[in-house]
Chains A and B, each alone.
Chain A
Amino acid sequence: MIKNPFRNRTRATLAIIGIAIGIATIVALGMVTGGLQSSTQSTLKAGSAEITVTKIGNFGSSGGVMDESMVTDLKNTNGVKDTAGILRINSNVSTSSGGSGFGSMGGFLVNGIDSSKLALVGINSVNGTIFTNGSSNEIIIGKTVAQNLNKTVGSKIDIYGTEFEVTGIFESGNFIYDIGVFTSLSTLQNLTNNTGKVSYIQVKVNDNANASQVSKTIQDERPNDLSATTAVDQANRINQSLGMIDTASWAISLLAIVIGGVGVINTMIMSVFERTREIGVLKAVGWKDRRILGMILGESIVLTLVAAVVGIILGIVAVEIIFKFFITSQSFEAVLTMDTLLKAFGVALLVGIVGGLYPAYRASRLAPTEALRYE
């Protein structure tokens, strides 16, 4: 049963390639969605804030700033443990006015925050040291920025005509933060004429408080002014988009099953056809129809499982190559989950059964005398 599918090497190889490409697509898509999912989940990691508060109509843009006093106001809300005001400037917008370092980078965020509040944005450890509050020239940079700009601790970065020294490199696990840099809030406020202003406020709730409820309270107290979103909400929104990718990946799987299934049917029918006499002999020596059915079905499954292994390797290699050469900003990494592997094997098994069933049935129903007479 193990050897039989490979008697005709060319045919078996072609069938395997056909199924393997389908499986590889499933694995590659699975790895990408898996990677996106894990970066979404890390926004919910312990220690960081659960609620993001912005001015209505604006999120993270420099135009939508609010008064810094709100940071203290919100801290007094019932159930709130801590708050942090963050000024976020898109380097893209402002570098055109004279910054020399970032003009070419594109889509890169400069954040100002009180250094004691870094944990609220998920920065718990820094390779190097963090900046000191009020100092004018210290900055920590995300690992993606560090890789893209080729900067290390001690390197200089020019922002809005001021030279900053990189004191540390952080990895928050959240790819949005990892493509940004953080400096002292007051420094950034002064540098961008935003004294006393913040773009958004991160709110951490008490351990026993419900984030959604606190979020609602904040919202309800200032209905025309603020908008509060919990990290869970954000994650859900991202998950919805991921859900679409997932649906697409299932559609591709279905296509792979159909195409692969037809290929397997063809391969196995040819194989049964060529071995008609042999099947006649097996019947003559007393093999039951059931055993012949099982043998052909087994061969078909062996074929597709080999294709699954080939396809999984192919998928991993393809994703690695794409990430290495084509996606240079490493905002997230592809992750191979157990789910993806199980799905790949599941699809292969299904293709094996679906594709093998008809040829196996035909083989089992062959009349022994006709099979033996077959030339």
Chain B
Amino acid sequence: MTEENVIEIHNLQKTYDKGKIKALNGIDLEIKKGEFISIMGPSGSGKSTLLNMIGALDRAEEGTIKVAGIDLMKTRDLSEFRSQEIGFVFQMHNLIPNLSVLENVEIPMYETRVKSEEMRRRALELLEAVGLKDKADKNPTKLSGGERQRVAIARALVNHPSIILADEPTGALDSKTGDVILNLLKSLHSKKQVTLVMVTHEPYVAEMADRILHVLDGKINNSS
């Protein structure tokens, strides 16, 4: 792995349903540190599976995958890797409804050795960065869709990950709110110099990236 590449994938294969469905059929991919990548493709093409592989939410059967210097095929407990290197932003914000906005942002830090005052300080700093500091004590159910997604972004960044994985982060939002979220992601990406990999359906969203990957039938078709 060269120092520049934060993600290196070779011939990655993943099947579901006892081999009947080939979700990934030999993916080769290199992503440089600090890059903003969009992954496009039709439903069922394997783009979300690819994202899950990078985020170590699932394991591949064959091939190699190294992320942030860690061999994901060989590492047994991947929770620490997820905690330290990856920040997820889902289509559905997936906030925990009975915790406050602040507590939701603090959740990823429970697995680290960060002290509680520092947890609070970091979470508030990020909530300020996404413009929601004044809603820190509110319940997420009281927020709008866009606001919730901003909380989810703050949560994704709180452990200073090297990579943000966003799975259709604007999919559940109207286009205006979606733009706000995209601009926020883009600006945080450049400000924090974090690698951003985003799965999307929409070409105009994908256009914002440095590079667009097209996934079809579990393979990368071409990149532009």
Assembled-state Cα–Cα distance A283/B52 (Å): 12
Which of B79, B80, B83 has its CB near the most chain A CB atoms (within 10 A)?
B79
* Contacting pair B111 A369 (CB below 8 A): no
Q: Which of the 9-residue segments B63-71, B88-96, B207-215 touches chain A?
A: B88-96
B41 within 8 A of A: no
* Partner pick for A283 among B79, B80, B159, CB 8 A cutoff: B79
Q: Is the CB of B96 within 8 A of A285?
A: no
Q: Which residue on B lies nearest to A286, using beta carbons? A: B83
Chain A 193-216, CB within 8 Å of chain B: the 1/0 string?
000000000000000000000000
Contact B98 A284 (CB under 8 A): no
Segment 87-114 of B: residues with Cβ below 8 Å from A: 88, 90, 92, 94, 96, 98, 107-108, 110-111
Residue interface mask A268-300, B partner, CB < 8 A = 1:
000000000110111111111101000000000
- Contacting pair B77 A288 (CB below 8 A): yes
Residues of A within 8 A of B83 (CB): 285-287
Given the complex, which residues of A lie within 8 Å of B1, measured CB to CB?
A: none
Is B218 interfacial (CB-CB < 8 Å)? no
User: Chain A, 6-20, contact with B by CB distance < 8 Å: what is the 0/1 string?
Assistant: 010000000000000
Q: Are A291 and B52 in contact (CB under 8 A)?
A: no
Contact B98 A285 (CB under 8 A): no
A281 to B94, CA, bound (A): 7
**B138 CB → nearest A CB, Å:** 16
Known: A286-B82, A287-B79, A289-B79. A369 touches B57 (CB 8 A): yes
Residue count of chain B within 8 Å CB distance of chain A: 24
Does A56 belong to the interface (CB within 8 Å)?
A: no
Q: Mark A350-375, 1 if CB is under 8 A from B, else 0.
A: 00000000000000000111001000
Whether the pair B82, A285 counts as a contact (CB closer than 8 A) is yes
- Chain B residues near A281: list those with CB within 8 A: 88, 90, 94, 96, 107
Quick one: given A3-B98, A284-B57, A285-B107, are A369 and B79 in contact (CB under 8 Å)? no
Q: Which residues of B contact A (CB under 8 A)?
A: 52, 55, 57-58, 77, 79-84, 86, 88, 90, 92, 94, 96, 98, 107-108, 110-111, 155, 159
Assuming A291-B111, A369-B58, is B155 touching A285 (CB within 8 A)? yes
The residues of A with any CB-CB pair to B shorter than 8 Å are 3-4, 7, 277-278, 280-289, 291, 367-369, 372
The verdict on A372 contacting B90 (CB below 8 Å), with A278-B96, A283-B57, A284-B55 known, is yes
Give the docked Cα–Cα distance between A367 and B77 (Å): 13
If A3-B98, A277-B94, A278-B94 touch, does A288 touch B57 (CB 8 Å cutoff)? no
Which residues of chain A are within 8 angstroms of B111 by Cβ–Cβ distance?
285-288, 291
Interchain residue pairs with CB less than 8 A apart (21): A277-B92, A278-B94, A280-B94, A281-B90, A281-B96, A281-B107, A282-B107, A283-B82, A284-B55, A284-B82, A285-B83, A285-B111, A286-B82, A286-B108, A286-B111, A286-B159, A287-B110, A288-B80, A288-B111, A368-B58, A372-B90
A4 nearest in chain B by CB position: B98
Contacts A282-B107, A285-B107, A287-B111 hold; do A369 and B52 have CB atoms under 8 A apart?
Answer: yes
Residue of A with least CB distance to B77:
A288
Residues from chain B with a CB closer than 8 A to the CB of A289 are 79
Residues of A within 8 A of B58 (CB): 367-369
Residue of B nearest to A373 (CB): B48
A285-B108 contact in complex given A7-B98, A278-B96, C-beta closer than 8 Å = yes
Closest 10 CB pairs of A and B: A286-B83, A285-B108, A286-B82, A368-B57, A281-B94, A288-B79, A369-B58, A284-B88, A286-B111, A369-B57
Residues of A within 8 A of B90 (CB): 281, 372
Known: A281-B107, A285-B159, A369-B58. 10 other contacts (CB 8 A): A278-B96, A282-B107, A286-B81, A286-B83, A287-B107, A287-B110, A288-B79, A369-B57, A372-B57, A372-B90
Chain B contacts for A288, CB-based, 8 A: 77, 79-80, 111
Q: Chain A nearest CB: distance from B14 CB in Å?
A: 10
Residues of A within 8 A of B84 (CB): 286
- A277 to B92 Cα, complex, angstroms: 10
B residues in contact with A372, CB < 8 Å = 57, 90, 94
Closest to B88 in A: A284
B108 proximity list for chain A (CB < 8 A): 285-286
A284–B95 Cα distance when bound, in Å, is: 12
Q: What's the Cα separation between A287 and B58 when bound, in Å?
A: 15
- Give chain A nearest CB distance to B100 CB in angstroms: 11
